[in-house]
Structure 1
Amino acid sequence: MLRKEFRIILLSLLVSFLLTAAKFTAYFLTHSVAILSDALESIINVVAGAFASYSIFLAGKPRDENHPYGHGKVEFFSIGFEGAMIFIAGCLIWVKAAQYFWGESQLREVTQGIWLISATTLVNLFLGLYLVRVGRRLSSITISGNGQHIMTDVYSSLGLIVALAAIHFTGWTWLDPAVSVIMGGLILRKGYQLLRRSVSGLMDETDMQVVDRVIQILRAHRRDTWIDVHNMRVQQYGNNYHIDCHVTLPYYLELSQAHDELKAIEMLVNREFPNSEVEFFIHPDPCIPACCHYCQLAQCPVRSEAFTGKITWKRENVLPNRKHG
């Protein structure tokens, strides 16, 4: 699968390089600062694509003694690097726009610029949609992040086309730097979002969507011997996950029986994450009398309290480090 990811990101890199060349051609024809802004963002697509190619190559390396969880964390460095480059591009665009506000406009050949940017936008649209779809299917944050960035480029290019058309028909050249300022703001926002995602991944911030998905899977296939699940922690390494949790089991189970129960949990979740590897470190907790009132094991030989009701598993009782009830 990683070889496929590598081929996809190389395709993105090649297309982005060709589109960047086309956008700079449009800039030299028109001298439009708004087109220059679009071209600068495309340079980031090329740089980010190159870094993403390396990160996918590195993420595909097997675990070793120095990296017992694999090399998947490099993907968070990849989107962080891309976010930083986008942020810098946004700042450069604002600087260039400010210079054009105070200088004399040199716009020319606007019609040719419109056609060139329209062509690059169409190609980018197909590429971005393809990368987002494949990235989700392969659970690759690098491919998905690259696709989202390209889709942002598409939206800004559409706004640019509208602005160039308005300039062509009205002669309002002040629209050129004004649109550039708006595009710079959108680019800065996207750069911040990617940086935020990178930092959260490197700091092992909990992805609540993954937590909810794991809880839903366990809840749907819950066994009576799984009295409760608590102290759950989820870490992401590329498109793989490492999950720590405690599972309360009947205290009288033999070691082999407890092992089978925990193995069933690991196999169950991995089956529901077909494009990822989910590694579990599960700590078995013995039940205590306080668990009896929500334990659903009808034939329990040591029950000391009557069953009063099932406790639904959710974030509020699965994440804290304590037994339910």
Structure 2
Amino acid sequence: MIRKELRIILLSLGISLLLTTAKFTAYFVTHSVAILSDALESIINVVAGGFACYSIYLSGKPKDANHPYGHGKVEFFSIGFEGAMIFIAGCLILFKAAQYFIHQPVLEEVDQGIWITGGTAMANALLGLYLVRAGKKLPSITIAGNGQHILTDAYTSAGLIVALVLIHFTGQTWIDPAVSVIMGLLILRKGYQLMRQSISGLMDETDMQVVDRVIAILNEHRHRTWIDVHNMRVQQYGIDYHIDCHVTMPYYLELSRAHEEMKAFEELVDRELNGHEVEFFIHIDPCIPASCQHCQLSECPVRSHPFRSKVTWSRENVLPNHKHID
């Protein structure tokens, strides 16, 4: 799978390099600051693609003594680096646009700029869609993130084409730096979003969508011996997950039976989260008399209280570190 990811990101890198060359050609032909802004963003595509190649290579390395959870978190560094580069590019674009408001350039060959920019926008849109779909299918947050960035590049190029058309027909050159300011602000926003995603991953921020999915799996396929699940924590390492939780089970189960139940628990979640490797750390809690009201084992030989209701697991009762005894 890692080789496939590398082939995909190398393809993205090669195409981005060609498109960057085309955009700078358009800038030298037209002297448009908006086209220069677009070209500067494309440089980030090339730099980020190179860093992504390394992160994919490193994330594919097996676990070792120094990295017991693997090397997957390097992918968060990758998208953080890409976000920082995009943010810097946005600042440079705004600075350049401010200069052009003071000294507006004389634009040339705007029609050629429209055709070149239109071709690069179409190519970026196709490449971005391919990368996003490939990133979801593999799955790879690095490839998907790179695809989202390239799609953003395509959208800004589309807006740039509209501006160039207006300049071509109206002759109002102030539109050029004005559009550059808008593009710069959009690029700053995208850079912030990627850096925010990177920090969230590096700080082990819980992905509630994954938590909800795991909880839904357990609700749908629960065993009667799984009386309670609580203190659940989900951490992401690249495309892999590490899940900790406590599971309350009948205290009288033999160790071999309890082990079989936990193996079934792990295989269930691992199977349903297809495409992700999941590592578990499950602590088994013995049931207490207050657990009887939620225990579905009607044939339990030590029941001290009648069954009252089945607990439907949710974020509110699975994440806290306490048993469901009320």
- 2:97 match: 97
Secondary structure of the residue aligned to 1:231 is strand
- 1:177 match: 177
Q: Work out the CA distance in 1 between the residues paired with 2:104 and 2:319.
A: 61
Deviation of the 1:52 alpha carbon: 0.3
Q: Work out the CA distance in 2 between the residues paired with 1:211 and 1:93.
A: 40
- 2:125 match: 125
Deviations 1:255-274 (A, max 9, x none): 11111111111111111122
Q: Work out the CA distance in 1 between the residues paired with 2:3 and 2:320.
A: 39
Secondary structure of the residue aligned to 1:45 is helix
Contact 2:104 2:173 in 1 (8 A): no
- Partner AA of 1:192 in structure 2: Y
Q: Work out the CA distance in 1 between the residues paired with 2:232 and 2:3.
A: 32
- 2:190 match: 190
The equivalences for 1:154-233 within 5 A come to: 154-233=154-233
- 1:139 match: 139
- 2:278 match: 278
Secondary structure of the residue aligned to 2:66 is coil
The equivalences for 1:4-83 within 5 A come to: 4-83=4-83
Q: Work out the CA distance in 1 between the residues paired with 2:5 and 2:287.
A: 45
Secondary structure of the residue aligned to 1:264 is helix
Contact 2:34 2:180 in 1 (8 A): yes
Q: Work out the CA distance in 1 between the residues paired with 2:296 and 2:157.
A: 58
Q: Work out the CA distance in 2 between the residues paired with 1:206 and 1:156.
A: 32
- 1:88 match: 88
Deviation of the 1:171 alpha carbon: 0.6
- Partner AA of 1:206 in structure 2: T
Q: Work out the CA distance in 1 between the residues paired with 2:299 and 2:162.
A: 71
Q: Work out the CA distance in 2 between the residues paired with 1:102 and 1:141.
A: 42
- Partner AA of 2:63 in structure 1: R
Contact 2:34 2:177 in 1 (8 A): yes
- Partner AA of 1:38 in structure 2: D
Q: Work out the CA distance in 1 between the residues paired with 2:157 and 2:297.
A: 61
RMSD: 0.6
Deviation of the 1:104 alpha carbon: 2.9
Q: Work out the CA distance in 1 between the residues paired with 2:272 and 2:41.
A: 38
Q: Work out the CA distance in 1 between the residues paired with 2:108 and 2:43.
A: 23
Q: Work out the CA distance in 1 between the residues paired with 2:23 and 2:298.
A: 70
Secondary structure of the residue aligned to 2:244 is strand
**Larger deviation, residues 104-113 vs 239-248:** 104-113
Give TM-score, length-normalised by structure 1.
Answer: 0.99
Matched length: 325
Give TM-score, length-normalised by structure 2.
Answer: 0.99
Q: Work out the CA distance in 1 between the residues paired with 2:313 and 2:274.
A: 23
Secondary structure of the residue aligned to 2:224 is coil
Deviations 1:97-117 (A, max 9, x none): 000000032211000000000
- Partner AA of 1:318 in structure 2: V
Q: Which runs of 5+ in 1 are unaligned?
A: none
Deviation of the 1:126 alpha carbon: 0.7
- Partner AA of 2:146 in structure 1: N
Deviation of the 1:138 alpha carbon: 1.2
Q: Work out the CA distance in 2 between the residues paired with 1:297 and 1:2.
A: 46
Secondary structure of the residue aligned to 1:25 is helix
**Larger deviation, residues 87-96 vs 264-273:** 264-273
Q: Work out the CA distance in 1 between the residues paired with 2:175 and 2:111.
A: 15
Contact 2:26 2:112 in 1 (8 A): yes
- 2:292 match: 292
Q: Work out the CA distance in 2 between the residues paired with 1:147 and 1:104.
A: 34
Secondary structure of the residue aligned to 2:42 is helix
Deviations 1:19-73 (A, max 9, x none): 0000000000000000000000000000000000000000000000000000000
Q: Work out the CA distance in 2 between the residues paired with 1:71 and 1:240.
A: 10
Q: Work out the CA distance in 2 between the residues paired with 1:316 and 1:23.
A: 51
Q: Work out the CA distance in 2 between the residues paired with 1:296 and 1:172.
A: 75
- 2:242 match: 242
Deviations 1:212-269 (A, max 9, x none): 0100111110110000110000110110000000000110011111111111111111
Secondary structure of the residue aligned to 1:220 is helix
Q: Work out the CA distance in 2 between the residues paired with 1:113 and 1:252.
A: 77
Deviation of the 1:132 alpha carbon: 0.5
Q: Work out the CA distance in 2 between the residues paired with 1:16 and 1:320.
A: 46
Structure 2 residue 272 is matched with structure 1 residue 269: no
- Partner AA of 1:243 in structure 2: I
Q: Work out the CA distance in 1 between the residues paired with 2:272 and 2:12.
A: 29
Secondary structure of the residue aligned to 2:12 is helix
Q: Which runs of 5+ in 2 are unaligned?
A: none
